[in-house]
Chain A
Amino acid sequence: MTDPAWISTALSSARPQAVAALLRYFRDLDTAEEAFQEACLRALRNWPEKGPPRDPAAWLIFVGRNSGIDAARRRSKQAPLPAEELVSDLEDVEAGIAERLDGQHYRDDILRLLFICCHPDLPATQQVALALRIVSGLSVKQIARAFLVGESAMEQRITRAKARIANADVPFEAPGPVERSERVAAVLAMVYLVFNEGYSAGATEIANRAPLCEEAIRLARLLLRLFQTEPEVMGLTALLLLQHARAAARFNAEGELVLMEDQDRSLWNRSLIDEGLALIDKAMRHRRSGPYQIQAAIAALHARAARPEDTDWAEIDLLYSVLESMTPSPVVTLNRAVAFAKLRGPEAALKLIEPLAPKLAGYFHFFGVKGGLLMQLGRAEEAREAFDRAIALANTAAEAAHIRMHLDRLSAPSPKSVKANTKAPSSQLQ
């Protein structure tokens, strides 16, 4: 396990901890990142020979801190510190650092690093780009590819975002409990954004964007290890695992979106589902519900259904109504309409979403769902109108293609396609 690929995995897994601790030492993001880079270079020289250390993060923090101080001294023309090869008691130092790593300090370090990426002045996409660059350590090239922009444009965006947070003045003292929980909430929202950037991609972009989903899951797991008793952290992690578990089944060979009820469930990733179910189970025991837990519970009900017809729509409808009261939003109501249609028919679901029209006039999924319901009711002309609106508002080629498939069925009224037309509408969460 000493070849470069394995070492690079170990380095990237240690990155959030190491950069976060170095940021606390140097109080400057660029210096912390440079020190981490230098430590990584030394690891690449050292580890193949000596084997990786037992605690890569502690090693990188120690060596990074030395090299950072060293660089500062070189700049002020003082004597350099000894190279890490000459430090004989590195093992002991490591143990000392590792112990401290377990403490609250360390937890707040990582939280701070994540939190500065969620600065409210930064638009959502910049928060995501910054977190991917600073916390996950993705290259600018990888991030640019994920956002479908040129490398230099992304470089500029990240530099600008960094300049903004440099003046943000996030205090380095340990936060109080209220502040800490506010930071956790902001960071959870940012992790969810990272995931959605990956999840909402079409089939053609999925290869470049799927890593965002994996990064988001890594960040969620990291947060969960730091905040082991927070049910919402468990909820978000479970939600991401359960959604990502369906990745292989969400697009067909032609790159078209496949609705959940048409997905080949044998392609769902069982081990991700099992972990998600275990986490949501754990969260529920706290009896302190929250939006991520509710959404995870909905995803869990889908995951538990061996066949689409086994889905517990009544429970899903109930959970959506809880979610509606917790976080009132037309998008949540729209998602509820899908369960509503299953339980009480398309007419009732249509009544539920009609009041949302003014608020969702620019929302692709609204017209997708509406068209689907109208189609089920046999109101072909109105359905076609809604689908036309949806296509105009589609965010990805796959979304547009999916709606076009419905339109084709509408204009070819053979008995076979009429039957196929009674499909449920698509929902954002599905």
Chain B
Amino acid sequence: MLYAILCYNNEDVVCAWSQEQDDEVMARLAVVTGKLRDQGRLGPVARLMPTTAATTLRKAKDEPLIIDGPFAETKEQFLGFYVVDCETLDDAVDVAKELADANPGGGSYELRPIGAFFPGKETA
């Protein structure tokens, strides 16, 4: 079974880390992920940019609403994600619109640029 492990933390605090503190955290995490990589078990790893860089597309009756900022509702649950290479935010919004059209339900899509990405092994 493939598991997605999602990280949550206080962004104010994490953004206040000094470069040294950040490097220290990343080095400690690399020990954990390195072990998994050696075992051939590590898939893609992404570090997202701060939520200030996020845009949210919320499905509405007609045109979907585009809202600045991260997804902030508690009534909906996190169901899945895509990683798409986009030239601009407009392109990403277009992709999300297409997905929203194809998806019969309501819901939202948060578009968050990825700060650092490690593809990891091919997982079939």
Contacts and interface: CB of A to CB of B under 8 A. Distances in A.
A281 B51 contact: no
Task: Name the residue among B51, B67, B89 with the largest chain A CB count within 10 angstroms.
Answer: B89
Interface stretch (B15-23, B31-39, B101-109): B15-23
Interface in A255-290: 271, 274-275, 278-279, 281-282, 285
B56 to A, nearest CB: 10
B63 interface: no
Contact of A228 (B18, B52, B66, B90): B52
A54 B12 CA distance: 11
B21 A9 contact: yes
B21 A278 contact: no
A331 B106 CA distance: 51
A218 B16 contact: yes
A57 interface: yes
B49 A13 contact: no
B110 to A, nearest CB: 13
A229 B50 contact: no
Given A9-B17, A229-B69, A271-B116, A279 B53 contact: yes
B49 A275 contact: yes
Given A274-B113, A278-B113, A281-B88, A14 B12 contact: yes
A279 B51 CA distance: 11
B64 to A, nearest CB: 14
B50 A221 contact: yes
Contact of B90 (A5, A54, A55, A285): A285
Nearest to B89: A281
Contacts of A275: 49-50, 53, 113, 115
B interface, size bucket: 20 to 34
Interface string A54-84: 1111000000000000000000000000000
A35 to B, nearest CB: 20
B15 A221 contact: yes
A278 B17 contact: no
Contacts of A285: 55, 66, 89-90, 93
A278 B13 contact: no
A278 B16 contact: no
Task: Name the residue among A6, A13, A57 with the largest chain B CB count within 10 angstroms.
Answer: A13
Contact of B21 (A5, A221, A281): A5
Contacts of B69: 228-229
Contacts of B52: 221, 224-225, 228, 237, 279
B13 A13 contact: yes
Interface in A314-372: none
Contacts of B94: none
A10 interface: yes
B70 to A, nearest CB: 9
A282 B13 contact: no
Contacts of B15: 13, 218, 221
Contacts of A6: 21
A19 B18 CA distance: 22
A12 interface: yes
B80 to A, nearest CB: 22
Contacts of B55: 282, 285
Nearest to A9: B16
B88 to A, nearest CB: 6
B68 A229 contact: yes
Nearest to A285: B89
Interface in A29-59: 54-57
B123 interface: no
B119 to A, nearest CB: 17
Nearest to B12: A13
A279 B49 CA distance: 10
B77 interface: no
A13 B49 CA distance: 18
B10 to A, nearest CB: 7
A57 B115 contact: no
Contacts of B13: 9-10, 13-14, 56
For the complex of A and B, 5 pairs with smallest distance between CB atoms = A13-B16, A228-B69, A278-B113, A281-B89, A229-B68
16 contacts: A9-B16, A9-B18, A10-B16, A13-B12, A55-B10, A56-B10, A56-B13, A218-B15, A221-B50, A237-B52, A274-B49, A274-B113, A274-B115, A282-B89, A285-B66, A285-B90
Given A10-B13, A228-B52, 11 more contacts: A6-B21, A9-B18, A12-B16, A17-B12, A54-B10, A56-B13, A225-B51, A229-B68, A274-B113, A279-B52, A282-B53
